[in-house]
Structure 1
Amino acid sequence: MLRLDDLQLFVRTAEAGSLSAAARLLEISPAVASAALKRLELQLDARLFARSTRSLRLTAQGQAFLSHAHQALQSIEAGRLQLAGTKVGISGLMQLCAPSDFGRNTLLPWLDEFQQAHPQLQLRLLLGDRITDFFREPVDIALRYGAPEDSSLVALPVAPTNRRVLCASPAYIARHGEPQTLEQLAGHNCLLYMLGGRIHDRWQFSIGRRQQSMTVQGDRQSDDADVVRRWAVAGQGLVYKSWLDVAADVQAGRLRVLMNDYLGELTPLNLICAHRSQLSKPVHVLRDFVQARCSALLAKAPWAD
């Protein structure tokens, strides 16, 4: 019988691309993690990862098993959430703020599913990309990319291994070609996002152990991340976005990930609130629910191959 914690370790390792990183996320020692992975491979009679002193990647067998492991964990998590909802009787009003793009195009259908499982729950959803003021706005919790600037806020990880990816539509690529290096970004129209008056025009990547960045330019800027994504889908230029924001577009063929040899900037998604007293059982149930679905999307990320 396969152990649940061994499956969780396998999935986390595939997402993070590192056994030690997965061990830290699961709060276990590297030795325990290594033993768990060996035990799982022995039970499956398959080599799941190809290892060297500096890298770890899924084998063909590991890639094939990953989707089954995800489905098993999601099924168990769905059952657990259903039981948890029954026990705690989730009800009342939950006031949630989320980024415009992630909230509108990724989170919204998830919340429909969550509310169907907990029909006594009322949701108030605010969408926007600016920093949430928990003391002036009708918000209990927020989903936000990156750590909060205010160290007094409480932040719980939801998708700690999420990264940005460079994308363009097939139509744009047909007209202008694909960049192969950072220097070639200067010859492309880059669609820019701005927050608090600051334009995010310095795109950061890593290749191997080298960190590189490039200041880019384009003819369009917006303070709404969803608008920037829509411009990219319409073929107006390149976009540098969170994988969670564009995963559905990539899977549907509306966007293509470019320059796969370059690893995009780490962009963790966190659940944030003002006080730990706000971390009620319903909030924890919602966090677990969103975390499970983010994990499934991250398993399909380019760096997870």
Structure 2
Amino acid sequence: MSTPTEPNRPGGYALPTGALQAQRRAKRELEQADIHLLGDIAKPHEPTKGRLKAAHSARNPNTRVYVGDCRDVLEKLPERGEVDLIFADPPFNWDVPYESWRDGMSRAEYERFTFDWLDGCIAALSPTGSLWVNIPDDTAAEIVLHLKRRGLTMINWCVWHFRFGQNRDSSFIMSKVHALYFAKDPDQRIWNPEHIMELSDRASVYADPRTMAKDQNKGLRLPMDVWYGKYWGRIQGNNKERRHQHHNQIPEVYLERVILACSNEGDLVLDPFLGSGGTCTVAKAWGRRSIGIEHSAVNAKSAWERIQNGMVRQGAAATPTGEASLNRRRRPD
């Protein structure tokens, strides 16, 4: 017996027709369920009062950087409810010696912090907006459950895989981080698959003529949900993207894929943990307005310098064009 499929499912592959219905049913059940996580017992953050003023700003496209606690800034944001895309790479609570941030909270305190900024992001999103969270193993499940109980729908649970993981001898070496993709409305979200196509192995490696017989996107496919490749490694050593004063950086190609896929030119992109400034840098390069929030004034200044300097590898995640691009990886006959 054949299984009914849903060919228009984001990602280009077919799933049982019940997949989205099951998510919607679970969404209603989660909203009604009495679910408790450890962070729920901690006291919620009380936003500070006072006016909101950008530390750095520029026009064309409009780009602003705020210095402060993202929970406070999100509460006062003029564009609250109008943000098209949010990308968040929060502190992991791994006792990293940040310049102005205590990265060693108790588990309950850290979860409460996480739920507070997630709620601020949800309130900032437009009805068609999307939220991406870059997070390691130990908090991914709590974030997924919290976003689902707040009524958001998971679109993809992607993985950023990198070589040269963090060495350890007590368990397998960690060589990935989760890229969680959620939307307020899965049917109305901004989604531009045509902007992030990549070369299909069938076409570029094996020269399969069937991939060139398609009416559209000849020799191309949408990326899979495990992300790796030439420019996808951790930013370290003599990498041209590296900002030496920052502990962790997201590769431009990662941010570019998210921004091209989930926003349009002129849309508003927000990063509540700006760090080295990558999100606003990529957003500006592709004609998006952007807002960055950074706890450290020193990091904010460094991030602003990067935003003004621009991207190092613009186009690495964009759909390749032309026959030359398709032929460059083919095996010789």
Shared fold per TM-score greater than 0.5? no
Q: TM-score, normalised by structure 2?
A: 0.24
Q: With structure 1 as the length reference, what TM-score do the two structures score?
A: 0.26
Q: Which has the higher helix share?
A: 1
